[in-house]
Amino acid sequence: MLAPGAARHLLPVVLLLLLAVLTGVVAGGTVAIAAGLVAAALAALVAFLAVFFRDPERTPGDGIVSAADGTVRAVERSGERWTISVFLGPLNVHVNRLPIGGTVEAIAEAGRGFRPAFRPEAASNAARSYRLRTEIGPVEVIQIVGVVARRLVSFVRVGATLRKGERFGMILLGSRVDVLLPAERVEPTVRVGDRVRAGASTIARIRP
Active site residues: 175
Position 138, amino acid: P
Among 67, 40, 81, which residue's Cα sits nearest to residue 164?
67
Q: 119-128: long-range contacts at Cβ-Cβ below 8 A with a sequence spacing of 24 or more? A: 120/74, 122/146, 122/176, 123/178, 126/150, 126/152, 127/152, 128/152, 128/154, 128/169
Residue 56 has φ and ψ, to the nearest 5°, of: -70, 150
Q: Determine the length of the chain.
A: 208
Nearest to 61 by CA among 97, 103, 104: 97
